[in-house]
């Protein structure tokens, strides 16, 4: 049985929720391997809408094991609120169906405060973070001063770690002319949280190894998108973790051999939330139409998404850095009614043609899209479930995308409803 990694191939918000929901129904284990509660996945099951941020998508289904891997940064207070909210929808979260890596880093209140203060101070130069403390938590992890899930079980060690952490943070806060953190208060909050969080703590790398030995189907669920990757994205306008497929192994304690199929979720046009370069952005009526038809508002932040034409050069880059096996093309129906469609096949930067978006921030900002124009379609594709239901021009558009990104289409989504999907290839049967 294949183990599948799902990643976003653009700037996030590609519609991963619906695809992951379909796959999670068939998986035995669903693993989150990076990011934090800045992710936003919406699932609609039997008419009930679930909005998840930190919990893996498998949590809403019975007899599935959900795992939060070591590559995730965990805000325990936000997690408990999410567990309470989902309980109101009839989903019980227990240590039987949720496990959290004991070596996962914790997001603390001081991380949230620092994140928001930095964004405010940056003014027009802000990155556009969600302000939830993700970046500062990863900074502490890299600097080897983070407090991890398992530390909550060691009272004496925890006190020493809090002191070491605040030695850095309080010096930083003094420099920002902000109130310092009281170590005793923080320690008291962590002691209060410990009995709530520790029952979920587990040696996740061993758990997953056992699942693989027993031939269980594992779904590795990514958050955000490739172009928000800390290394391969449009730096510095990126998230604070690696969002690419290789992180699925690192962020869960498995070797690269654990990955059999990489599915890249890819929107039929392009969107982005927050600041940063966006070569195909449309600030005209067409961009407005795409935003309205596609309901382009962030699940977590509610922020309006920037919209633009499909960027094949960008997605081809994602295909390469992720090792994408096939893509799930989403929101095809949003393009219904467009007289013509444009696809970016490269960039003109100061008179030089590029077939990829270069790493240079300056060059990214100057990139002008080189378009290929295609005929649109007037017929509705909404709800299509087979190739026969699609207009010939829509099929032509899909086939041209396959050629340009150099990866096959594994499925096509034609509405938010999970059954409105054209399945070409089942990743779990690879």
Q: Which residues are catalytic?
A: 13, 41
Ramachandran region of residue 127, left (φ > 0), alpha (ψ -120 to 50) or beta? alpha
Pair of tokens at residue 151: 């530390």
Pair of tokens at residue 242: 């690696």
Kindly give the residue spans of alpha helices, DSSP state H, lying in 355-407.
361-366, 392-405
Cis, peptide link before residue 236, omega less than 30° from 0: yes
Judge contact between 184 and 199, C-beta under 8 A: no
CA–CA dist 6, 379 (Å, integer):
31
Pair of tokens at residue 49: 């809408």
Pair of tokens at residue 139: 């900074």
> Interior CA angle at 53 toward 225 and 333, to 5°?
55
Pair of tokens at residue 315: 């997605």
Q: How far is CA 26 from each of CA 30, 323, 367, 409, rounded to the nearest angstrom?
A: 10, 23, 42, 20
Give the relative orientation of helices 109-122 and 134-142 as an angle to the nearest 10 degrees: 110
Q: Around Cβ 143, how many Cβ atoms within 10 Å?
A: 10
SS3 380: coil
Q: Transcribe 228-293 into DSSP letters.
A: G-TTTSSTTSS-SS--STHHHHHTTT--GGG--EEEEEEESSEEE-SSS--TTB--SHHHHHHHHH
CA–CA dist 38, 133 (Å, integer):
9
Pair of tokens at residue 24: 């999670």
Pair of tokens at residue 317: 């880059």
Give the distance, in angstroms, between the CA of residue 360 and the centroid of all CA atoms in the same chain.
23
* Widest pairwise Cα distance in the chain: 68
CA–CA dist 96, 93 (Å, integer):
8
């Amino acid at each position: 049985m294949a183990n599948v990694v799902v990643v976003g191939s653009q700037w996030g918000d590609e519609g991963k929720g619906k695809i992951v929901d379909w796959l999670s129904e068939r998986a035995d284990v669903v693993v989150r391997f990076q990011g934090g509660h800045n992710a936003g996945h919406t699932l609609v099951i039997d008419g009930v809408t679930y909005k998840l941020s930190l919990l893996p998508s498998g949590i809403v289904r019975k007899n599935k094991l959900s795992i939060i891997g070591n590559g995730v940064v965990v805000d325990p207070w936000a997690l408990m609120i999410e567990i309470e909210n989902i309980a109101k929808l009839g989903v019980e979260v227990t240590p039987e169906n949720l496990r959290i890596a004991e070596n996962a880093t914790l997001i603390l209140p001081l991380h949230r405060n620092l994140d928001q203060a930095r964004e405010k101070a940056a003014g027009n130069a802000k990155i556009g973070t969600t302000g939830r403390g993700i970046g500062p938590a990863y900074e502490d992890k890299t600097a080897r001063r983070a407090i991890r899930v398992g530390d909550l079980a060691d009272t004496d060690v925890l006190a020493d770690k809090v002191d070491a952490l605040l030695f850095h943070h309080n010096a930083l806060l003094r420099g920002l002319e902000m109130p310092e953190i009281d170590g005793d208060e923080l320690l008291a909050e962590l002691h209060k949280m410990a009995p709530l969080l520790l029952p979920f703590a587990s040696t996740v790398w061993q758990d997953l190894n056992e699942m693989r030995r027993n031939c269980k189907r594992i779904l590795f669920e990514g958050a955000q998108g490739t172009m928000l990757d800390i290394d391969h994205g449009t730096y510095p306008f990126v998230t604070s973790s690696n969002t690419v497929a290789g992180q699925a192994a690192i962020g869960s304690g498995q070797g690269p051999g654990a990955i059999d199929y990489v599915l890249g979720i890819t929107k039929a046009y392009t969107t982005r939330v927050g600041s940063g370069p966006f070569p195909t952005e449309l600030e005209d009526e067409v961009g407005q139409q795409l935003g309205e038809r596609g309901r382009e508002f962030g699940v977590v932040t509610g922020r309006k998404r920037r919209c633009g034409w499909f960027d094949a050069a960008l997605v081809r880059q994602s295909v390469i850095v992720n090792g994408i096996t096939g893509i799930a093309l989403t929101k095809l129906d949003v393009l219904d009614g467009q007289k013509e469609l444009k696809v970016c096949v490269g960039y003109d930067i100061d008179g030089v043609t590029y077939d990829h978006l270069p790493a240079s921030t300056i060059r990214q900002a100057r990139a002008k899209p080189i378009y290929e124009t295609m005929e649109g379609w007037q017929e509705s594709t909404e709800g299509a479930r087979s190739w026969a239901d699609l207009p010939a021009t829509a099929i032509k558009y899909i086939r041209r995308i396959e050629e340009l990104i150099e990866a096959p289409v594994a499925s096509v989504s034609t509405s938010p409803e999970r059954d409105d999907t054209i399945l070409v290839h089942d990743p779990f049967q690879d």
